[in-house]
């Protein structure tokens, strides 16, 4: 995707069977898993480890920055100190990109809550978005003397977890998460650990976000994506089913259903863009899906291909689709855009199109000059970067630029953990008022003029469903057809569309104002 859109985060959990070799190595696995989940969040990273030989039985290290920045790997001595200080045989981890909450250390996860009773002392990581945040908050505000410092759904989840652990007897974690599932609406993958060393990894009943696990020789690894497990040497992984949890209690490992799953709503965008191309999500390869998306897109092509045509995929997430698109049409693939991979995060942002593109890509003019370019991208959300790339390609001497998008038009905001929360910020609704199985020709022409492109073709919704290979009823496709899988989501889209059509300024998540006790 040319215009950086982010998922909220990635989660991890590690349990190593106690023995001489593994008793203090949980952090090494957590670090490696988080490195492999870095695509899911680069704003902050953190871990909580368990070690009953420490006075600080649960110990949390979290900070703003990439995984390597947080673990100070550029400073060997400081990094080794961190790994020594936080050694243990169990732990959880988290990488974050914020859809709700500011970019400060206090928002970094995991969140740890201290308590004198060991089962009430816990830490957790959270991937998702609670759509009914405000009703949940108002329910607590009716209680006496509740105060909220962070005002995000992770803090709300922490309060509800703490309330579920009250009493003089340790509750069963399955019962805890079953009760919480009756209160929560939205997407939530949770990794949890307490000061007794109990671990839970929980996937919401709709399965919005992926969650994988592997058990090997009595050791357990959990990660948002399967590639992280494979790169730790755990090749035989499984996807945790929606409404199920992994529970590790006193060394006993079990997979349990904690909540009914009446339907599934796997986020289609995970296959299109978010997930690592080497991952397998709910039995469907991300790479194979993106190849199929390219093939489906090629079937929609209307241009008469000549020797002057080339395909340039927008790196990196559009490469598989771009290569397949080119193969189907018999057109050569060229690297006309080279991603600047080592720039990292920067506060230096130019104002001109040339400056903004230069921060992300280097244009190879020798490839571009005089060519008719099929510019293949995985999706267009806000459109600004696509417009800048098209303009830069033409400035570099391209004869024609034909924009090809492997995902259908994004016309609905996401209420489930992706940072595109208003209709106003989206590109496609400016040109098409209602959802459509395929892009209307009139809207495509208007888009092309706006982008300075010669033509624009989007993937069709049937083509997307076919490429993923799961039943349409098992996918969340709300952002492309405005069919939301939860009750509050259905209410919110009506409010969001009405605000957009009446020209009302949305100013953030629509449900921040519209639904208080839905």
- Any idea which of 70-79, 306-315, 399-408, 498-507 has the lowest mean pLDDT? 498-507
How does pLDDT run across 319-349, given as a tens digit for each residue?
999 999 999 999 999 999 998 876 654 444 4
Identify whether 175 is part of a domain: yes
Check residue 344 and give its pLDDT.
Answer: 54
Query: What mean pLDDT is predicted for residues 421-426?
Result: 88
Give the pLDDT of residue 7.
47
The label of the residue with tokens 């990109």 reads: 97
Mean pLDDT confidence for 190-213? 98
pLDDT at 503: 81
Domain boundary among 229, 262, 295: 262
pLDDT of amino acid 502: 83
Average pLDDT (274-285) is 96
Residue-level pLDDT at 506: 57
Q: Are residues 357 and 464 in the same domain?
A: yes
* Same domain as 126, residue 41: yes
Give the mean model confidence (pLDDT) for residues 343-370.
71
Kindly state the percentage of the chain with pLDDT values over 70: 91
Q: Respond yes or no: is residue 9 known to be catalytic.
A: yes
Residues 258 and 290 in one domain: no
pLDDT at 123: 98
The pTM (predicted TM-score) of the whole model is 0.92
pLDDT of 381 above 80: yes
In this predicted model, what pLDDT tens digit does every residue of 444-454 receive, in sequence order?
Answer: 999 999 999 99
Looking at the fold, whether 105 and 146 belong to one and the same domain comes out as yes
- Is the preceding omega at residue 26 within 30 degrees of 0, hence cis? no
Strand partners of residue 187: 129
Which one from 9, 267, 476, 479 is the annotated catalytic residue? 9
Q: Is the pLDDT of residue 6 over 50?
A: no
- What residues are paired with 257 via a beta bridge? 244
153 occurs within a structural domain: yes
Looking at residue 349, its pLDDT comes to: 47
The sign one gets for the Cα dihedral 508, 511, 515, 517 is negative
> Closest Cα partner for 331 from 419, 402, 389, 393?
402
Higher-confidence residue of 419 and 96: namely 96
In a domain, 251, yes or no: yes
**517 compared with 260, residue with greater pLDDT:** 260
Buried b (16+ CB within 10 A) or exposed e, 308-329: ebbbbbbbebbbbbbbbbbeeb
422 within some domain: yes
Q: Are residues 91 and 178 in the same domain?
A: yes
Q: Are residues 298 and 258 in the same domain?
A: no
At residue 69 the predicted structure's pLDDT band, cuts being 50, 70 and 90, is very high
> Over the range 137-165, which residues count as b (16 or more CB within 10 Å of their CB) and which as e?
bebeeeeeeeeeebebbbbbbbbbbeebb
**What is the CATH classification number for the domain harbouring 126?**
3.60.20.10
The number of distinct structural domains making up the chain is: 2
d(CA 380, CA 389): 12
**What is the per-residue pLDDT across 427-450, written as a single tens digit (0 to 9) for each?**
999 999 899 999 999 999 999 999
CATH classification of the domain holding 359: 3.40.50.2020
Q: In terms of residue numbers, what domain contains 423?
A: 285-512
Helix axes 133-141, 153-164, angle to 10 degrees: 50
Lowest mean pLDDT of 350-359, 392-401, 411-420, name the range: 350-359
**Whether residue 239 is found in the same domain as residue 302:** no
pLDDT at 53 over 60: yes
Clarify whether residues 227 and 290 are in a common domain.
Answer: no
CB atoms inside a 10 Å sphere around CB 72: 17
Q: How far apart are CA 490 and CA 484, in angstroms?
A: 5
- State whether residue 362 is helix, strand or coil: strand
- Residue 199 backbone phi and psi in degrees, to 5: -125, 140
């Amino acid at each position: 995707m040319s215009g950086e859109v982010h998922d909220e985060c990635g989660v991890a959990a590690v349990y190593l069977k106690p023995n001489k070799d593994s008793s203090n190595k949980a952090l090494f696995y957590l670090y490696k898993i988080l490195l492999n989940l870095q695509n899911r969040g680069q704003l902050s990273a953190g871990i909580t480890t368990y070690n009953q030989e420490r006075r600080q039985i649960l110990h949390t290290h979290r900070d703003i920055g990439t995984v390597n920045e947080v673990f100070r790997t550029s400073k060997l001595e400081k990094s080794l100190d961190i790994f020594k200080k936080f050694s243990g045989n169990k732990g959880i981890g988290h990488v974050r990109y914020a859809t709700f909450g500011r970019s400060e250390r206090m928002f970094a996860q995991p969140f740890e809550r201290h308590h004198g009773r060991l089962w009430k002392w816990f830490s957790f990581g959270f991937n998702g978005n609670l759509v009914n945040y405000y009703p949940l908050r108002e329910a607590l505000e009716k209680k006496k003397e509740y105060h909220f410092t962070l005002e995000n759904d992770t803090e709300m989840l922490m309060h509800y977890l703490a309330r579920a652990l009250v009493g003089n007897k340790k509750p069963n974690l399955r019962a805890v998460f079953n009760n919480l599932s009756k209160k929560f609406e939205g997407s939530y993958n949770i990794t949890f650990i307490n000061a007794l060393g109990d671990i839970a990894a929980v996937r919401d009943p709709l399965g919005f976000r992926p969650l994988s696990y592997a058990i090997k020789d009595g050791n357990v690894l959990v990660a948002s994506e399967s590639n992280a497990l494979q790169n730790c040497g755990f090749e035989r992984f499984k996807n945790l089913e929606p409404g199920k949890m992994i529970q590790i209690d006193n060394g006993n490992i079990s997979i349990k259903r904690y909540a009914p799953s009446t339907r599934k709503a796997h986020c289609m965008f995970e296959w299109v863009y978010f997930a690592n191309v080497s991952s397998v999500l709910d039995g469907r390869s991300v790479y194979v899906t993106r190849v199929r998306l390219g093939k489906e897109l090629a079937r929609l092509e209307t241009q008469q291909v000549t020797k002057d045509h080339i395909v340039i995929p927008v790196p990196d997430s559009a490469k598989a689709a771009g290569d397949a698109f080119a193969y189907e049409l018999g057109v050569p693939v060229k690297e006309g855009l080279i991603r600047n991979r080592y720039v990292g995060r920067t506060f230096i942002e130019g104002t001109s199109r040339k400056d903004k593109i230069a921060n992300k890509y280097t244009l190879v003019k020798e490839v571009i000059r005089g060519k008719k370019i099929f510019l293949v991208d995985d999706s267009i959300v806000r459109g600004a970067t696509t417009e800048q790339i098209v303009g830069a390609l033409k400035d570099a001497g391209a004869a024609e630029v034909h924009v090809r998008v492997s995902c259908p038009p994004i016309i609905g905001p996401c209420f489930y953990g992706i940072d595109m929360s208003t209709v106003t910020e989206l590109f496609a609704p400016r040109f098409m008022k209602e959802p459509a199985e395929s892009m209307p020709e009139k809207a495509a022409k208007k888009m092309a003029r706006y982008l300075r492109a010669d033509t624009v073709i989007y993937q069709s919704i049937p083509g997307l469903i076919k490429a993923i290979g799961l039943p349409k009823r098992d996918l969340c496709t709300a952002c492309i057809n405005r069919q939301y899988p939860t009750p509050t989501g259905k209410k919110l889209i009506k409010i969001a569309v009405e605000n957009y059509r009446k020209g009302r300024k949305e100013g953030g998540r629509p449900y921040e104002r519209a639904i208080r006790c839905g």
